[in-house]
Chain A
């Protein structure tokens, strides 16, 4: 019930392309977060979603909290080389600890 399934596992795209990745779970969540981890660094919060159906943007990034509260997607428009990294969907449980998904590894070909 606490597992977050992310797809795809990895993506190798051309610079300038749009990217879409998603995350699903069998459990309902109240908070959905998207973090990015650059190589050799700690995760950095990209977008936080708090309400079912919420659509939030942060620059070229857009994320939505699914109506069923069991899924979320993250889109990146016009990818650039510095978008390379691992993107994690993350849920927060009632005790405020973070549960990470397995991640989507993004590689961008210049």
Chain B
């Protein structure tokens, strides 16, 4: 069964460093999303992406964040200058056109020290 994959599974970085989190969505999906989950809290929407542009972003998704689909398969989330409060699980999700169901990857645990 096709699935969303994410790399790395765990990333440790120092405050102020840039990180890039990678996702490979399911191949026939056209809508892509990033969510995050701070430890012990609920999952929060960050950004949605369709047709090579951002469809919507939350207030969490400030100028330090960016997303890109550099080729036909990868979808990346970049954090330019990480802060301690960026430590969280980051989930990528994708969905088919005009379908409600979003399929989530296993997540990348980001730890900022």
Contacts and interface: CB of A to CB of B under 8 A. Distances in A.
Interface of A: 31, 33, 37, 40-45, 48, 50, 88, 92, 95-103
Contacts, number: 54
B75 interface: no
B-side interface mostly: strand
Task: Say which size band chain B's interface belongs to.
Answer: 20 to 34
Given A96-B31, A98-B35, A102-B42, A45 B105 contact: no
Contact of B45 (A31, A43, A88, A99): A99
Interface in B1-56: 4, 31, 33, 35, 42-45, 48, 55-56
Contacts of B45: 97-99
B91 A43 contact: yes
B48 A100 contact: no
A100 B43 contact: yes
Contacts of A97: 33, 45, 48, 56, 58
A98 B102 contact: yes
A44 B1 CA distance: 14
A19 to B, nearest CB: 20
